[in-house]
Structure 1
Amino acid sequence: MSSLDIIVIGGGAAGFFGAITAAERFPEATITIVEKTRTVLNKVRISGGGRCNVTHACFDNRQLVKHYPRGEKPLRFLLNQFDAAATVAWFEKRGVPLKTEADGRMFPTTNTSETIVDCLLYTARRLGITIRTSCGVSSLTRDEQDRWQLHLLDGEIITADRVLIATGGYPKADGYGWLPEQTEPLLSPVPSLFTFNTPGSPLLTLAGVSVTDAKVSVLGSKQEQRGPLLLTHWGFSGPAVLRLSAWAARELADAHYRFILRVNWTPTLNENELRAALQDFRQQNGRKQVVSQNPFGLPSRLWQAFALEAGISETQRWADLPAKPLNRLAERLTNSQFQVVGKSTFKDEFVTCGGIDFSGLNPQTLESKAHTGLFFAGEVLDVDGITGGFNFQSAWTTGYVAGLTIGR
């Protein structure tokens, strides 16, 4: 019989990384991954449009942690043990080189997530890790020998000396109900990384139009973000909106996802500065039609929509443009307001704000303070990043740290 039985609950990025690290560090241990669905590494497969955004090319950990709305402080400490540079080196050592794109996102050079999936599966099997799928856990208890008992959904009971929980986030607090009694503090989960539904928006017909730089904010709040913005047939998406949804996750949940979204389509200018720029443009382009001459590089369809909304006809020349429609146009460009009514999941990359609070864990090992031999890693923790490879990096980091110490 093996000297140590380790079971990892959850066959995702953090679970595999924890299991592999433990197998390399404690070769005498018997390690099993149990996954409730029929396949493992599902999120790895779909991430980044099927290319897998493995991490982000940010190698200064003080800067890296600024991309996490939750978990910044504990993650800063954990990154000292395994950071983005370590991730790049880990995959490269196993024959999977990564490449950096212009926005800092890092992908396998093969441009397919299957490369990452194959690497993790091959490494796990080479190390003798058992992988059990369609194997859901209904509860976790202790037996008379103080070993962990995993009660499976089919009635089977399996025992372990140590358990790593890497199940990912749950959309509701009752999802964590199978964990042991008197467990770690739980921060109630709410969604993060979602798009905004604006059913009354006059811009819904412009679905597919994108702006490279816009400022988005929640009216009556300090929450604002700036970056690319995408118009959709249900409302708004794109990096600026996703970042806003992450940083304002709790605020927007408390508002039941009903709020006013403000958009400045020319974020380098306020309304007065923009009005002055329009006046200058009018003087220099008097003979030209307003709807066909756009001084700010906005997509032509979007500019035309703003002009028509401001009461400017298609034949109106700049020289003949009255002050009132010019002022209305300035307001549309710098202070558009849209009633948000609900949210939509961004692709399939659901991320949870909330989860197991780090205060209930040993900050160096991610072991429960209340339950010896119980470890946590990945999105089940109260840590989440914006898009760009940051959520995978926290999965690799926390999985590695837990795996490094789980066999001690």
Structure 2
Amino acid sequence: MKRFVIIGGGAAGFFAAINAAEMHPNLEVIILEGSNKVLQKVKVSGGGRCNVTHACFTPNELVEFYPRGKKELRGSFHQFMTGDTMEWFENRGVSLKIEDDNRVFPQSNSSQTIIDCFLESAKNAGVILKTSTRVDAIKKIGEKFIIKTTSEEFTANYVLVASGSNTKVWNMMEELGHTIIKPVPSLFTFNIEDERLKEIPGISVPKATVTILNSKLTEHGPLLITHWGLSGPAILKLSAWGALELSQKKYQFQIEVNWLSLKFEAVLERLKSAKKNHAKKQVVLHTVFEEIPKRLWHKLILAAVISENEQWAQLSNKQLDNLTNQLTKSAFNVTGKSTFKDEFVTAGGINLKEIDFKRFESKLHKNLFFAGEVLNIDAVTGGFNFQNAWTGAWIVANSVNN
């Protein structure tokens, strides 16, 4: 009996193991996991709900969400796509739902549903799971691989490396001749110390535009004020697309926030109209834009040098310009980054030029496969990183023993 050994008990590892065992009944499938727990990233993903995938069903559109891996994944998505992922889970009794922003979650709103599905499917397929089994060395001798772990040694016909951002495993791959693109954080939030953001964590706006000054990086979407600065989809998308550039800047840079995604002139006209139509009302109590929460409106008014007692009729043209600038061109100094919840994602990993993406197989060593974040592929938030894992793992499962 031939043996397929998978290094890593995460999303890609389990998905490949289950599919390989089901597709090839005469193949012995073993998962090696260094810790005593499996699927920990699945557990915390999507705020504990597990953002399984994204309801984007066209490969050419889907690849646009991948700062790294876009070209390589286009063909792969023609083999296994988001719709295939949804069907796979639903065939195993996991009901899914598509939310308004097209993110896909289990109906249960619990990542444990996905974990239970994996554990049960793996058991039913005869997958052998070995936890607390850290891989110390991988060597290829002839047509076979020798995998040394903390407890025993395994001989394998096929190996899948699905260990995520694991520096030790990357070092082993370098010893086998692969090139590692130096990893840097991809999904992170911006640390900002600014009076305008103090004491209002949890406040969000639905349609902001955030631009990194002195760069071509700009993104649109919901923006969230946190205890440490700014987060939300607009920031996370910027962090993914700007992962390499922002690392080079050592996470010290300036951003400009347009809280409304409206042009300066359009906002100024609305403010002038408010001055005319609500002359005796206090500016601080009359929010012109429904999208701006009252506490944020209050902060922006003070930043525009408008006192709490001033009425609309009292505002000078300079004050109107100041307030328009605060609404459309708020500048902030970013002084660092924070990990987005526990969903740590990196840009970097195995050089994509060394992979045959028809099989997710090493071009240097036949029957050595890679899937998930161990490769230099990453995506914006919204289920796309998981879809990369499912697609790669399924293609590997289909390729082994063939």
Q: TM-score, normalised by structure 2?
A: 0.97
8 Å contact from structure 1 (residues 62, 76) kept in 2: yes
Partner of 2:150: 153
8 Å contact from structure 1 (residues 184, 361) kept in 2: no
8 Å contact from structure 2 (residues 63, 73) kept in 1: yes
Partner of 1:344: 338
The SS at the match of 2:172 is coil
Deviates more, 1:321-330 or 1:336-345: 321-330
Structure 1 residue 130 displacement after superposition: 0.3
The SS at the match of 2:189 is strand
Aligned length: 401
Partner of 2:183: 189
- Give ranges in structure 1 of 5+ residues lacking alignment: none
Partner of 1:278: 271
The SS at the match of 1:295 is coil
Distance (Å, rounded) in 2 between the aligned partners of 1:125 and 1:299: 50
Partner of 1:102: 100
Distance (Å, rounded) in 2 between the aligned partners of 1:400 and 1:329: 53
- Give ranges in structure 2 of 5+ residues lacking alignment: none
Aligned partner of 2:276: which letter?
Answer: Q
Distance (Å, rounded) in 1 between the aligned partners of 2:169 and 2:130: 21
Partner of 1:169: 165
Aligned partner of 1:282: which letter?
Answer: K
8 Å contact from structure 1 (residues 201, 235) kept in 2: no
Question: How is 1:2-151 mapped onto 2 (pairs within 5 angstroms)?
Answer: 2=1, 4-143=2-141, 145-151=142-148
Q: Does 1:204 align with 2:198?
A: yes
The SS at the match of 1:16 is helix
Partner of 1:235: 229
Deviates more, 1:218-227 or 1:356-365: 356-365
The structure 1 residue matched to 2:327, chosen from 324, 333, 352, is 333
Aligned partner of 1:51: which letter?
Answer: R
The structure 1 residue matched to 2:401, chosen from 396, 400, 407, is 407
Structure 1 residue 51 displacement after superposition: 1.3
Question: How is 1:295-374 mapped onto 2 (pairs within 5 angstroms)?
Answer: 295-297=288-290, 298-374=292-368
Aligned partner of 2:155: which letter?
Answer: T
Q: Per the alignment, do residues 175 and 132 of structure 1 end up closer, same or farther by CA in structure 2, a change over 3 Å counting?
A: closer
* Identical amino acids, percent of aligned pairs: 46
C-alpha distance after superposition, 1:374-403 (max 9, x if no partner): 100011111111111111111100000011
Aligned partner of 1:59: which letter?
Answer: F
Q: Does 1:262 align with 2:256?
A: yes
C-alpha distance after superposition, 1:282-301 (max 9, x if no partner): 11111111111111121011
Structure 1 residue 175 displacement after superposition: 5.7
8 Å contact from structure 1 (residues 141, 180) kept in 2: no
Distance (Å, rounded) in 2 between the aligned partners of 1:64 and 1:180: 31
Structure 1 residue 208 displacement after superposition: 1.2
Distance (Å, rounded) in 1 between the aligned partners of 2:63 and 2:390: 14
Partner of 1:222: 216
RMSD of aligned residue pairs (Cα, Å): 1.4
